[in-house]
Structure 1
């Protein structure tokens, strides 16, 4: 028989902390995405269970009674409780979160077990105590007695698991628990280390920015590029059949030539359609599109040169091998046509960003010359640029939480915190000095340093908490790299819950 819970004389910190964690609902019913119940039933009856991965041979299975399934059910209920619609996007988020939570629990619990640590009975009692509080927040013996033994045993089991999880989390990553003002758990930092980090926040620079958006590339410049490279934009009418293997495609090519299989039947019945729509026509029906998919550029020109109705020999493409059929002759591009110019624009933005960036770099150099002759503001007016004023901030690569980060309200600086080269260019500037043009995200920018200031070191009152949070974040990010982890999540999820493949 389960032992009675004795109410502690004073609240225990670990009990309060685990009280929040323990509400991991243990459900005997597995949550199934809408439309997936028939699939799950058939899998269960066939004795086949989706396995999303494993840790040191222990499978992460989606079936009733497993921690993974319980987490999925719990997260689904949370989504519903917060008014979230359950759809394909939320299903994916639910399963992803449950998988990562289960994997983290397995890794942490295994480490604690290896250290021969286990939760004491008193600790388990403190953890489950809130489950039996009445409406006044006091322990109710009545509520305890009304709970059947099986449920209480499950609560104790879950509490012990969560305590083991928190033991590893606190010992390795740290927590807010302190003794004499110093963190009790986790990585320790010396006072000199803290001072060094605090000082990193002292030197700040403010800037004026003139940004040329590469998204505004003029249509007339795109037309000019097209006229200089007309072959790239020849309009093609070509069908294709693609297979993965060279031997397969050679056999199919022979069948087509011998009239044993029609090209159209090969499209509908055999092609992987890597480069086409369902009708077999090239998805990007321009010569540059053909160049992008064919391994050898000479094969692209040979293909276009085929007579109408002719079928090519097998050609190696970036993925697989392909047979092409010319359905009609290629048409020269008309660069007075708006649709054609838009095609050139899209091509440049996706495949020739450097061309656009060079165009704006030349404009930015002209801007710098004008600013030197007159002023930065006058140059902005002449080039129709809206100047961005940036308040002083320090170098903070990766936006570390320990001190002030890159301003988030300046759209032109998006991506700066992880661009070492641009940070170096900007923070080498002296007051009133202008930078050379540099590319940042979708802008070509000229920066002028408007001030260099020395502030007091950062207040690191939350340093220890930030260390713990940073370590926890790194652990979560790198969890799947741990020895013994096998991650089959994407393959399994898409196999069973997207494609609905219950035969393989």
Structure 2
């Protein structure tokens, strides 16, 4: 429950209800809560302490707080925001438990004077003055709940304030507490930002791989695109497949009836027809690729032996003749493109690597821009940036908004290549996303900004603490399962 400087009697009542009454949000009322005698589901445990959405629990209080915050900022409460509210509340509850445990183990006790200061704002009048009348009007149970909540809040916040500092505990602008950042540390981080490099980039999009190159491959590997008219029965257990095969062989059941009665149809439509019927697609579902010849070699109307596939055991039946590929049709050309993109990407990369090497040769003979114009190569300029893996916010960052630069800040090969070049040197071709690129280191610069945002470092400390605690062996996290099983309509 957040405290403000002034509360009217009406707002006091609202705050008390929000903080200490069990609020069941209408769109996420748990199914188990509507079942008489049903146990409240446990979202998880931290160090053996259960996290339940029940009246008076930290979890319920956090749900109420986040719900009020969302409404205060005009957020519409729907299934998405309810999930976010509960998820944030769960994480806050876990952090509260972890922080409180650490503080209690230290022997710290919340001073009564601090507890009093924490609860006084809830008994202020419209002018912000303490009102004994409001205090007397509150029931003893409400006062006790306020006292207990304030005490728990002080204990949990003590850990956060000691480690991450607090805006309320400063001498001038200097925090009293929190992890300290030495001048040497700040200088080290500032030095990381000093060397900055700018580049020109030539990009060869893999999407531009020519059709004639695709068809050259297709004609050399035409059998991959043979299309088969066949049906298939698939079951999980080999013994079941053997029984079905025996019944078909003894004419006790037709193949078609066996499809309807037994097949799980992993690789077929409802009538048993194989859904992906190119030869390479049939090969892909086989556990042993050597079995392909025994399937494709079936005569019309014949059935195969039992074949192990990726989803179990299958029996194939050849229903008609094979259709040889006609690569002049758009359907086959699309199929070839799909196959090459999925299974033969090195063909495309090798093709454009050769093109990139031609560009490098031309650029060395003339210059980067002239080579790009002559060979009709797309280029971009990359603004100066420091070596900053992941674009951490404490340093200047790489602009990844340009076409083809997505996630370049996480590409080790790209960064290593870029920061290994000498000024004006051209890189070897390298793959970045859907492009083969060539870099030229064109601009060297330094940053004179030696200021380091300490608040950013504190944010990293806090996020690191959250990450470690949420991965702790002490945490049993059932949030997703419990929420979707019990709190979704």
1:124–1:287 Cα change, 3 Å: farther
Distance 2:404 2:125 in 1: 55
Structure 1 match to 2:98: 107
Distance 2:385 2:205 in 1: 23
- The structural deviation recorded for 1:204 is 1.1
**Does residue 163 of structure 1 match 2:157?**
no
- The structural deviation recorded for 1:202 is 1.1
Structure 1 match to 2:24: 30
Distance 2:73 2:322 in 1: 56
**Does residue 422 of structure 1 match 2:417?**
no
Q: 3-state DSSP class of the match of 1:45?
A: coil
Structure 2 match to 1:291: 283
The higher radius of gyration belongs to: 2
For the Cα contact (< 8 Å) 1:31–1:72, is it kept in 2?
Answer: no
1:413–1:257 Cα change, 3 Å: same
Distance 1:22 1:359 in 2: 69
**Does residue 56 of structure 1 match 2:47?**
yes
CA RMSD of superposed structures (Å): 3.9
Q: 3-state DSSP class of the match of 1:109?
A: helix
1:484–1:431 Cα change, 3 Å: same
For the Cα contact (< 8 Å) 2:429–2:436, is it kept in 1?
Answer: yes
Q: 3-state DSSP class of the match of 1:449?
A: strand
Of 425, 433, 452, 2:425 maps to: 433
Q: 3-state DSSP class of the match of 1:29?
A: coil
- The structural deviation recorded for 1:295 is 2.1
Spell out the pairing of 1:136-285 with structure 2 (5 A cutoff). 136-175=127-166, 177-178=169-170, 183-236=175-228, 242=234, 244=236, 284-285=276-277
Of 463, 467, 472, 1:477 maps to: 467
Distance 1:40 1:80 in 2: 26
For the Cα contact (< 8 Å) 1:112–1:167, is it kept in 2?
Answer: yes
Of 344, 348, 352, 2:340 maps to: 348
1:434–1:279 Cα change, 3 Å: farther
For the Cα contact (< 8 Å) 2:400–2:408, is it kept in 1?
Answer: no
Structure 1: gaps of 5 or more residues: 1-10, 12-20
**Does residue 456 of structure 1 match 2:448?**
yes
Q: Which moves more between the two structures, 137-146 or 157-166?
A: 137-146
1:188–1:336 Cα change, 3 Å: same
Distance 1:121 1:30 in 2: 33
Structure 2: gaps of 5 or more residues: 6-14
Q: How many residues align?
A: 476
Structure 2 match to 1:410: 402
Distance 2:350 2:280 in 1: 21
1:379–1:80 Cα change, 3 Å: farther
Distance 1:68 1:445 in 2: 51
Residues 240-286 of structure 1: per-residue CA shift (max 9 Å, x gap): 55555555655666677677887777767776665566666556443
1:159–1:459 Cα change, 3 Å: same
Distance 2:336 2:445 in 1: 47
- The structural deviation recorded for 1:45 is 2.8
Residues 348-369 of structure 1: per-residue CA shift (max 9 Å, x gap): 3344433322222222112212
Structure 2 match to 1:121: 112
Distance 1:257 1:492 in 2: 49
Structure 1 match to 2:10: none
Distance 1:214 1:451 in 2: 28
Q: Which moves more between the two structures, 159-168 or 394-403?
A: 159-168
For the Cα contact (< 8 Å) 2:300–2:318, is it kept in 1?
Answer: yes
Q: 3-state DSSP class of the match of 2:404?
A: helix
Distance 1:322 1:123 in 2: 73
1:279–1:125 Cα change, 3 Å: farther
Distance 2:106 2:277 in 1: 62
Q: 3-state DSSP class of the match of 1:331?
A: coil
Distance 1:327 1:278 in 2: 16
Q: 3-state DSSP class of the match of 1:412?
A: coil
1:212–1:56 Cα change, 3 Å: same
Structure 2 match to 1:359: 351
Q: 3-state DSSP class of the match of 1:377?
A: helix
- The structural deviation recorded for 1:397 is 1.7
1:330–1:470 Cα change, 3 Å: farther
Structure 2 match to 1:468: 458
Q: Which moves more between the two structures, 380-389 or 60-69?
A: 60-69
Structure 2 match to 1:17: none
Q: 3-state DSSP class of the match of 1:119?
A: coil
Distance 1:255 1:123 in 2: 82
Structure 2 match to 1:4: none
1:497–1:423 Cα change, 3 Å: same
Distance 2:246 2:255 in 1: 11
1:106–1:292 Cα change, 3 Å: farther
Distance 2:77 2:324 in 1: 50
Distance 1:260 1:93 in 2: 57
**Does residue 488 of structure 1 match 2:478?**
yes
1:70–1:382 Cα change, 3 Å: farther
**Does residue 303 of structure 1 match 2:304?**
no
Distance 2:262 2:80 in 1: 31
Distance 2:94 2:278 in 1: 47
